[in-house]
Every structure is written in structure tokens, then in C-alpha cells.
Amino acid sequence: MFKHSVMTVAIAAAFALPLSAGAAESPELAAIRAQIQEMKQSYEARLQALEQRLQDAQAAVAEAQNAAASAQQANAPAAPAAPAPAAPTTAAAGDNSFNPSISLVLGGTFSNLSQDPSTYRFGGFMPPVGEVGPGSRSFNLGESELTMAANIDPMFAGQLTFALTGENEASVEEAFVRTRELGGGTNVKAGRFLSGVGYLNAQHSHTWDFVDAPLAYQAFFGGQYKPDGVQVRWLAPFNTFLEVGAEVGSGRSFPGNDRNKNGFNATSVFAHAGDDIGDSASWRAGLSYLRTGAADRAYEFDGIPNAFSGKSSIWMADAVYKWAPNGNPTRTNFKLQGEYMRRKESGTLAAGELADAYASTQSGWYLQGVYQFMPNWRAGLRFDRLSSGTPFIGLVDSGALGMDAFPALVRYKPQRSSVMLDWSPSEFSRLRLQFARDEARPGQTDNQVYLQYIMSLGAHAGHTF
Amino acid sequence: MRTLTKSVSNKLLAAGALALSLALPAQAAINVLTCEPEWAALTTELAGDKASVSSATNALQDPHRVEARPGLIARTRNADLLVCTGLDLEAGWLPLLVQQSGNAKIAKGQPGYFEAGSFVPRLDVPAKLDRAEGDVHAFGNPHVHLNPHNIALISAQLAKRLAAIDPANAAYYAARQADFAGRWSQAMRKWETQAAPLRGLTLVEHHRNMEYLMSWLGMRQVGTLEPKPGVEPSAAQLGQLLAQLQQQPAKLVLRAAYQDERASNWLSQRAHIPAVVVPFTVGADKESGDLFALFDTTVQRLTQAVK
Ligand SMILES: [Zn+2]
């Protein structure tokens, strides 16, 4: 279809040959010149008309392809497409046409742990409820995830994520509806969702750079904080990224527990700011605050039952810096991230029949760097630290009981160093090797080796920054 | 005394007016965010100073793989019009970006979302959708901009869309489109004459992102460095490709400025064919400052390589 243009260019070039304009021209010459001018113009007009016809024809082909594509989408996800522009067909909507998109993440680990995982604990901390510790030895199914998501109508979209564990359990990781068109930089979510506090909390575990969550997330959230409630986020209309958000929830997720109470039992607020530094780097930093409570949050240690009731509040600071040459992460890139958490709990602590005042301030942080040194290959280093502090325990202070009645709460600073290497042959698969030296238990070192695979199938959701 | 008060109040008035004029944009230019630099260049051709235009990616980034960086989310929040290639090229990052921005104007299906790729005939619409084939593009090859006839088609549609978003300047956009279309079709004729020697040329490309350029200039691909779309080449696969070139020789190995040069240089040395880098989009180097320069440079690099 381009032959005509090449040919016509040759003609145009012939017309464009310089005709030197003499100072004094004979009428004959002027007439020839006028004739050439006229031919040029009519030629130009014909050329433009042809061009227009060509464009119209191409636009028609594009439209036919659009129609074919939408018909195909409506039929079945993998139906063969018409290779040539087909005649516009009306969308024959099948039963599956409005089904949610499905994405499946399959994960598994092979673990070698030098210490018995059933004795895992964070020295100086009440044992958290949730996904804590290195998991079992040998082969583990790990956590697989099944996500279904779809637009509900122009106003709402919904998503459901099941976490499937090796213990043959399916749990609801996330199940929420969200607004689509509120505009004004506002998004609202309701249901169960990964809270916006901190940095890593909002990210699904298969996108993490290490096999397991930082110790601080395990000790303070039991893995990740996933409230049942409502979240509002607002992005400020500036050229610099500034986002604020607030959540209210039932308060049932750790460090809270079910208090059989009406109203908003857990509230959190967070703010994130960020920007680009030239083409190659960007950063994001945030501050978050979570306030919740517990009633008879029981734990047992060394056969001694204890229970905490009272308020629990957590401050978090998080920062991440990413670098990729010219903003192109394909070949090499680097990511540095760190978070600090500080939890205050105050109320009463019961031991058997006795109960008295309790107050603690505990903190933890981690810092990690991941470097992609060549396409598909990354190496990472992480350091974790927790500080239990010395809690105020009324029963000990009054002399009613000795510290031996609270062996879990003896001051300690758990720490862990991890190093990992992973290989991702494509965007959809990743294999990882990780070594960790875990000193969470007082006086014991657990040498942990993990081999992990993470594969994603089906629809592929984008990754957040 | 009276004059003093008067001059003070005049100054206050002036200061107030100044503050007001700073607070309210003097000229209500529309905010346009484009996914790729070529659409930013095209929007600037059509809208001049009536739009403030920025691109989400630069010419040295891989448009398939972009991160929803904080600065980008902020720019998306304030966009009146989003101009993207579409056809799932940006599937890995754009939906998330639009969702996080909370900007309802530019959601898919809204007038604020312009999908350039949907206005041109597509090549490579797959007969089979399977990830075993790599990161395939279900709606056909999305790298449509390297055929200037596609730019012409998209330009006409984009001018209409600008007019719909900003009706007050509709006549302005139409006039600039007419002017651009005229200059563009002249330039196309020039490029087509210059590129006449490229007809029938065989080449190896890095990713299948030069198909529209090849179909425009009558060139043909006999292999790709990537074994499958989105999968980086390995030494073994490159060896296979080299062996395959014994049967089906290629005149050159072609890559875009954003792509890693190593695989292409490896093949160039062993197959004794030139490795040619084209800017691929506007702004990749100083010879490709706008759309005209992009094609000038592309045609020039290719013709020089086969001289
Ligand atoms: Zn592609």
C-alpha cells in the first residue's frame, strides 16, 4: 500500500528541480511556469485525496480489529483471534464473559533449620498471634494465593484473595470492595484488606524480597496487619506525591483481639510522601499510627497462662529508596528499605487468679538492600532487630510474684541477619535461596536455609512502588 | 495623609490582584500525561502552549516495565488527559497507577483516556494466548508508532480528543492538526524516497518492537535476540540464532536505544553484520528531539548501515 508513495515521491522530486527564475522572462516562459504551478497544485490535491483514502481504509481496519478483539474477550479468554481483520461481529456474550479475572500464585519452600521450629519465640515479647517463625522443616507447600478481581459496576470494584496453607487451610487474606470513580484523588475500600500502615504491610507476601516477614512485623502484627473495616485514602493534588489515609476496624486483628464491642475498635492513620530524584532514583517515606486494644489476650509460656487486657498503640516510620539507571530496571537496579516500629501497651496483666497493672514500650526495626546485578539475578541483605525493653509488671513490682512467673517477658534483644539470592527467568517465576542466622530465642542461634519458588499464573496484577 | 492612604490601598489592591493571578492559572492550559515520549511529542505538535505535557516514561526506559513511582502517581492525579499506546503495552503498571491516583477523569472508557493503538491496524494479533510463549500481547503488537502513517492516523484522532476535552480551543487544535498533517505527509514522502534502498532488507531485532517500521519500509525480520517476548537472551539461544543465520542471512541487527547492547554486539561480531541502534522514540539522543527528527535519524541510521 506504500508503493504509490514511493513512486509519487519520484514525480515530486522531478517537479522540484530548480528552474532558475530569470529577471526578464518571455511571456512564453511565464506561461510554462504557470502551467507547472497548476499541475503541481492539482497533483498535490490528488495526492492528499489519496492519502485521505488510505487513512480511511486503515482506520476501518483498526475498527474491525477492535470489534473482533472485544468479541473475542467476551467469548473466552483464550479463543483464537482472527489473524486477518474480520468483519465486525457482535459480541456473543457467553456465560464466562463477566467472570472475574483470576490470578493464582503458587509458592513452596524447602527449609533446613538447625533449631526445633516448635520452640521458636521472640525473647522478651508476649507470643504474637499469626504467622510467626520459620515454619516447618523439609518441604512446605508455603503460601499459595488465589485472587479473583473484577469491576462490579461503574462505581465499584471488588477483590477476594484466599491464602492456601500447607496445613490444608484456606483463609481469607483480603476480601474488599473499593470505589472506582470517586475522583478528587480519593479511594475508599471496605472489607478485609492489607492496611496502608508502613511500607511492607500493604504488599502481598509473594512480592517480598525475602522468604519471610521482618521480625518487627511478626512480633507486632503477627505477620501483617489486615483489619476488617473501612479505609479512606486521599492523594493531594501536588506535583510531589503526598498521600494521607485513615482506617477504622473491628479491632480483631493482632495486637487487638475480639472484644465483643460495638463501634470502631481499631483506628489507624498514615501519611506517605515521595518524589523522584532525577530519572534514575525515587524515594518514599511515611509515618503511621495504629491504636487498638485487647481484652484477655491470652498466651501460655512454659505452661504458665497469662492474659493481657488494655490499650495497644504502634508508631511506624518507613522509607524506601529505589535506583535504576535512567529509570530502566531491566538490567540493574537497587532498592533500599527500612522500617521502625514502636509499640506501647498498657493495661492489666493476669497470671492465674492474680492481675495487676502492666505497661511496656517495645521497638523493632529492619534494614534491607536488594541489588539486581544482572538481568534476572538479584542479591539481598537484611538485618532485623527487636528490643523488648523492661516492662512494668504490677504483680512483680508489688512483690506478689517474682519475674519467674513471667519468663516470656525477661528483657531481650532478638536479632537476625539474612542474605538471599534469587533468579527470575521471567516476570512470572522466581527461585530463591536464603540463609539466615536467627537469634530470636535467648541464647540460641538458629541457622536457617530456605529454597523457595514463587510462580504466578493467570491475570497479573501490577506491583506497587 | 489622604494620598498616603490612597497609595497604600492601591498597593494592597495590586498585591491582592497579583496573589489572585498567582493562585488561579492565568491560562487554563490542560494537563496531559502520556505513557510514552512519542505521544508527548505528538500532543505538543497539536496543542502547543495550550497544554502542559509530560511523559510517564523516557526514551531509555522499557515501556513494558515501568514502576508506579511516587512522582508518577502525583502527575497522574493531576492529568486531564492520558495518552497511551494501550493494547496492553502498559498492562503491568498503568491500571495500578490510574487506580492509585484516584483520578476518575482518565479511567479506561472515559474521554480522558486516549488509547492510540486502537486507531491503527495492528500486526501480529496472536492466534494463541499462552504464557509459555512469553509475555505476549493479546491485542496484537503494540509498538505501533514506528510507522509514520500510524502517527498520521493517531494525530487526526488526538486532535479531535483534545478538542473534546478543551472545547474552547477546538479551532486552535484543528488548525494545528491541519498544519502538522501537511508537514508530516511531505516528510513521509521524503523518508520513503530515502529509504527505498531498504526494501527487501533482512534483519535481526532484539524484541518484536520494530514490526511496524519493517512493514512500512518493506524490511523483513529473520530472527529475534529474545527467544520469547520479554525473555532476555541466553548464550545458548544466541548460539542457535547465529547458526540459523547461516541459512537465512541478515544484513544487520537492530535494537532500540533502551535495549541492552550486549546481545546485539555479540551477534554483530560473530555474524559480521553491523549492529544498528535506532532511537525508537523521541528524546533517546540529541538527534531525535521531535517526531520529525526521530524518523530522520531512524531512516538515516538504517540507510547508512547498508551502504
Ligand atoms: Zn512488546
Q: Look at A5 and B75 and tell me if their CB atoms are within 8 Å.
A: no
| Domain range for B127 | 30-191
What SS3 state is found at A287?
strand
Residues of A in contact with B105 (CB under 8 A): 183
Same domain, B41 and B136: yes
Q: pLDDT tens digits, residue range A195-225?
A: 999 999 999 999 999 999 999 999 999 999 9
How much is the mean pLDDT over chain B?
87
pLDDT of A261 reads 86
What SS3 state is found at B3?
helix
Q: Contact at 8 Å (CB) between B192 and A6?
A: yes
Tell me phi and psi for residue A407, to 5 degrees.
-65, -25
- Is residue B11 in some structural domain? no
The half-sphere exposure of B117 on its side-chain side, counting CA atoms within 13 A, is: 22
Q: Which of residues 192-221 of B touch A (CB under 8 A)?
A: 192-193, 196, 216, 218
In what helix (H) or strand (E) does residue A108 lie, and over which residues does it extend? strand A101-113
pLDDT of A283 reads 96
Among candidate residues B140, B168, B191, the one where a domain is terminated: B191
- Is residue B299 in some structural domain? yes
Q: Choose the closest CB to A62 out of B120, B134, B258.
A: B120
pLDDT tens-digit profile, chain B (307 residues): 444 444 545 555 455 444 444 444 445 589 999 999 999 999 999 999 999 999 999 999 988 888 889 999 999 999 999 999 999 899 888 988 999 999 999 988 899 999 999 999 999 887 766 666 666 677 889 999 999 999 999 999 999 999 999 999 999 999 999 999 999 999 999 999 999 999 999 999 999 899 999 999 999 999 999 888 777 788 888 999 999 999 999 999 999 999 989 999 999 999 999 999 999 999 999 999 999 999 999 999 999 998 8
Cα dist from A414 to A201, A317, A439, A445, B14, whole Å: 21, 20, 6, 10, 65
Identity (one letter) of the amino acid at B124? D
Q: What CA–CA distance (Å, rounded) separates B94 from B87?
A: 12
Same domain, B102 and B201: no
Q: What CA–CA distance (Å, rounded) separates A461 from A43?
A: 53
Q: Which of residues 29-58 of B touch A (CB under 8 A)?
A: 57-58
Query: Does A255 sit behind a cis peptide bond, omega within 30 degrees of 0 on the bond before it?
Result: yes
Q: Choose the closest CB to B68 out of A47, A375, A465.
A: A465
pLDDT of A151 reads 87
Residues of A in contact with B207 (CB under 8 A): none
Which of B290, B265, B55 lies closest to A327, judged by CA?
A: B55
Same domain, B43 and B131: yes
pLDDT of A112 reads 95
Same domain, B187 and B41: yes
- Is residue B97 in some structural domain? yes
- Is residue B283 in some structural domain? yes
Rounded to the nearest angstrom, the minimum Cα separation between B96 and chain A is: 6
- Measured between its terminal Cα atoms, the distance across chain A in Å is 45
Identity (one letter) of the amino acid at A450? Y
- Is residue B25 in some structural domain? no
Report which of residues A19 and B118 the model is more confident about.
Answer: B118
Same domain, B82 and B142: yes
pLDDT of A45 reads 86
Q: pLDDT tens digits, residue range A243-258?
A: 999 999 998 999 999 8
Residues of A in contact with B107 (CB under 8 A): 180-181
CB atoms within 10 A of CB B108: 14
Q: What CA–CA distance (Å, rounded) separates A303 from A315?
A: 32
Q: pLDDT tens digits, residue range A154-186?
A: 889 999 999 988 788 888 999 999 998 888 899
Residues of B in contact with A5 (CB under 8 A): 188-189, 192
Tell me the helix, strand and coil percentages in chain A, rounded to 5.
20, 45, 35
Same domain, B244 and B183: no
- Is residue B8 in some structural domain? no
- Is residue B84 in some structural domain? yes
> Domain total for chain B?
2
Which of B298, B135, B138 lies closest to B226, judged by CA?
A: B135
Q: pLDDT tens digits, residue range A356-401?
A: 999 999 999 999 999 999 989 999 999 999 999 999 999 999 988 8
* B178 vs A: CB within 8 A: no
Same domain, B36 and B163: yes
Model confidence at A153, pLDDT cuts 50, 70, 90, reads confident
- Is residue B1 in some structural domain? no
- Burial class, A169, CB count within 10 angstroms (exposed 0-12 / middle 13-18 / buried 19+): exposed
Identity (one letter) of the amino acid at A412? Y
* B133 vs A: CB within 8 A: no
Same domain, B144 and B215: no
DSSP, res A463: P
Residues of B in contact with A183 (CB under 8 A): 102-105
Q: Is the pLDDT confidence value at A348 over 90?
A: yes
Judged by average pLDDT, the poorest of A404-413, A428-437, B29-38 is A404-413
Among candidate residues B163, B191, B219, the one where a domain is terminated: B191
Q: pLDDT tens digits, residue range B160-201?
A: 999 999 999 999 999 999 999 999 999 999 999 999 999 999
Q: Look at B78 and A237 and tell me if their CB atoms are within 8 Å.
A: yes
Same domain, B86 and B213: no
Does ipTM come in above 0.90? Answer: no
Same domain, B297 and B173: no
Same domain, B176 and B142: yes
Q: pLDDT tens digits, residue range A66-112?
A: 888 777 655 443 333 333 333 333 333 445 556 788 889 999 999 99
Q: Choose the closest CB to A2 out of B72, B103, B192.
A: B192
CA B288, B289, B295, B299 dihedral sign is: negative
Residues of B in contact with A273 (CB under 8 A): 70
Among candidate residues B162, B191, B220, the one where a domain is terminated: B191
pLDDT of A97 reads 57
pLDDT of B6 reads 47
Residues of B in contact with A69 (CB under 8 A): 125, 138-139
Q: Which of B144, B192, B234, B259 to mutate to test the interface with A (most CBs of A within 10 A)?
A: B192
Cα of B209 vs centre of ligand 1, distance in Å, is 6
Q: Which of residues 7-26 of B touch A (CB under 8 A)?
A: none
pLDDT of B180 reads 96
Rounded to the nearest angstrom, the minimum Cα separation between B140 and chain A is: 9
pLDDT of B172 reads 96
Q: Which of residues 77-96 of B touch A (CB under 8 A)?
A: 77-78, 91-96
Identity (one letter) of the amino acid at A139? F
0.80 surpassed by pTM: yes
Output the domain CATH number for residue B296.
Answer: 3.40.50.1980
Same domain, B145 and B178: yes
Q: What CA–CA distance (Å, rounded) separates B293 from B161?
A: 25
- The grid cell for A267 is 483506628
- Measured between its terminal Cα atoms, the distance across chain B in Å is 85
Q: What CA–CA distance (Å, rounded) separates A75 from A72?
A: 5
